[in-house]
Amino acid sequence: MSVLRRWRAFGSGVGIEIAGAPGVESLRIALVKVSSGSVRVLDQMVVADFEHHAAGVWGTEYSGLLRKHGMGHVAATVLLPRRDVIVRQLALPGVEEKDLAAAVGFQLDGLHPYREEDATASWARLSDGTTVLVAITKRSLLDHYRTLFAEAGIRISGFTCSAAALYSARRLTGTAEPAEILAVSAGDSQIEVYGESASRPVFSAVFSTVFDGDAERAVAQAAGELRLSEQTPVHRIGEIANLADTTDDAPALASVAALNSACPSLSLPLNLLPEEFRQTSSRAAGVPAAILAAAGVLLLGALYYLPSYQKEKSLESLNAEISKVTPAANRAVELDKQISTTRQNTLLLDEIRGRSKADMDVLGELTKILPPPTWLNLLELSRTQVSFSGEAAQAAPLLGTVDASPLFEGSEFSSAPVRVKDGEAFRIRTNRQLSAGPAVLSKLDTKGIPAQ
């Protein structure tokens, strides 16, 4: 099956990776050609800080690059920033394809912290037949990027995530063996790790170089999640996708996205772009439109020779009126969309601003009530709960201390306290006294911060 899959893999594709820190993001663009599983990178381009430059300018440069290689008809596959995509895996053994959407939708609300109306999700079943890969992002973010690419005149076939693209690329190029794989892509501000193992079909995570340390620590954490042996080699992203023409990780992810663009039928159908906005790369897709256009010309010719002069004049008058009001109607629709997006963003900012005070009150209360020498190494805040772990001389009295606070109730140990060198290690979960609202998870991961 792997050999047949490689012989079916052919075509040309364009991949775009949105990379960089928020506010100074760049577009990494790669053009590839696939033939019988062999991949050749044709060209690459980088658009630095694209959001602060005129879309028409870099859109023209992009169009010129595609025309140079005869790929003006190709629609690009876009990799969203890994930090903006939540990647989850669901084990759904025995679920048939016709019931898959309902099964995933039943669990979807518990997989992300966004409001239901502001979340966009897509999923695909992996080759093991029991695992479903789910990707979730904000609808407002997707609309923002979609609008920018439309202004630049760039045809987009879909938005996806690096985990789905790398999983597809390994199998498309016939590099899915060995079964255990671990790859790292290091950037200026983050380290992205991808892996596969018998215990986890897909692993994808991003680590901040500021808070999470260097690449060695990220690899160690990923290997632990995948349960890999210490002898498992660590690869570069380009190596696991058989991209011999790439010299570093930066263009490799864009080239991986281009592989999905070149062979969409052999890739995971995980696409966060709504179907009504997807564009196709096929040259044959224009044939029906050409046929309809020719039919319209013939019909207009027939009408021209009709003996009824009055009907012809009425038709011309009606078309002229439609042409006058169409631009105004299109502008009104676009303004409505922009107003709606701005309103949603404003409401979200107001909600986040209000929640910051409540979260700081929780931090201050814990600092006040936990007796020294108690110290915490992990604190998780959600809308309704607080979970924290650390070390204390005695863990048992902490439940009463926390419940005595007017901000908490129903405290309990998430796991039994463990005796350590200078006391007891504990993990406590308690309920917050907050008003109802959308669930937003904020996580502080620090080491060795004293409670007081």
Residue 109: name the closest of 136, 81, 87 by CA.
136
Q: Are residues 361 and 277 in the same domain?
A: no
Predicted pLDDT at 292: 65
Q: Are residues 365 and 239 in the same domain?
A: no
Residue-by-residue pLDDT tens, the chain, 452 positions: 455 566 667 789 999 999 888 888 899 999 998 886 678 889 999 999 999 999 999 999 999 999 999 999 999 999 999 889 999 999 999 889 899 999 999 999 899 999 988 999 999 999 888 999 999 999 999 999 999 999 999 999 999 999 999 998 888 876 666 678 888 887 666 788 898 988 888 998 888 765 455 677 888 888 888 888 877 888 887 777 766 544 444 568 898 999 888 888 888 999 999 999 998 865 544 445 456 666 777 777 766 666 677 777 888 888 888 988 888 888 888 899 999 999 888 887 777 776 778 888 888 889 999 988 898 999 998 888 999 999 998 888 998 999 999 999 999 999 899 998 888 999 999 998 764 344 333 333 434 444 44
User: What CATH number corresponds to the domain at position 133?
Assistant: 3.30.420.380
- Cβ–Cβ under 8 Å, residues 126 and 204: no
Which of 281, 300, 320 is where one domain is finished?
Answer: 281
Q: How far apart are CA 204 and CA 163, in angstroms?
A: 6
pTM above 0.75, yes or no: no
Does residue 342 sit within a domain? no
- Provide the number of structural domains found in the chain: 3
Q: What is the 3-state secondary structure (H, E, C) of the chain?
A: CHHHHHHHCEEEEEEEEEECCCCCCEEEEEEEEEECCEEEEEEEEEECCHHHCCHHHHHHHHHHHHHHCCCCCCCEEEECCHHHCEEEEEECCCCCHHHHHHHHHHHHHHHCCCCHHHEEEEEEECCCCCEEEEEEEEHHHHHHHHHHHHHCCCCEEEEECHHHHHHHHHHHCCCCCCCCEEEEEECCCEEEEEEECCCCCCEEEEEECCCCCCHHHHHHHHHHHHCCCCCCCCEEHHHHCCCCCCCCHHHHHHHHHHHHHHCHHHCCCCCCCCHHHCCCCCHHHHHHHHHHHHHHHHHHHHHHCCCCHHHHHHHHHHHHHHHHHHHHHHHHHHHHHHHHHHHHHHHHHHHHHHHHHHHHHHHHHHHHHCCCCCEEEEEEECCCEEEEEEEECCCCHHHHHHHCCCCEEEEEEEEEEEEECCEEEEEEEEEECCCCCCCCCEEECCCCEECC
Q: Are residues 299 and 274 in the same domain?
A: no
Does residue 390 sit within a domain? yes
Q: Are residues 271 and 311 in the same domain?
A: no
Predicted pLDDT at 434: 60
Q: Are residues 118 and 199 in the same domain?
A: yes
Q: Are residues 245 and 360 in the same domain?
A: no
Does residue 244 sit within a domain? yes
Does residue 161 sit within a domain? yes
Q: How far apart are CA 193 and CA 249, in angstroms?
A: 12
Q: Are residues 273 and 309 in the same domain?
A: no
User: What CATH number corresponds to the domain at position 417?
Assistant: 3.30.1360
Does residue 100 sit within a domain? yes
CA–CA distances in Å: residue 29 to residues 45, 145, 282, 401: 5, 15, 20, 56
Q: Which domain holds residue 114?
A: 2-281
Predicted pLDDT at 65: 94
Q: Are residues 123 and 201 in the same domain?
A: yes
Q: Are residues 322 and 410 in the same domain?
A: no
Q: Are residues 109 and 92 in the same domain?
A: yes
Q: Are residues 273 and 289 in the same domain?
A: no
Give burial (CB, 10 Å; 0-12/13-18/19+) of 283: exposed
Does residue 346 sit within a domain? no
Q: Are residues 316 and 371 in the same domain?
A: no
Predicted pLDDT at 143: 94
Does residue 347 sit within a domain? no
Does residue 41 sit within a domain? yes
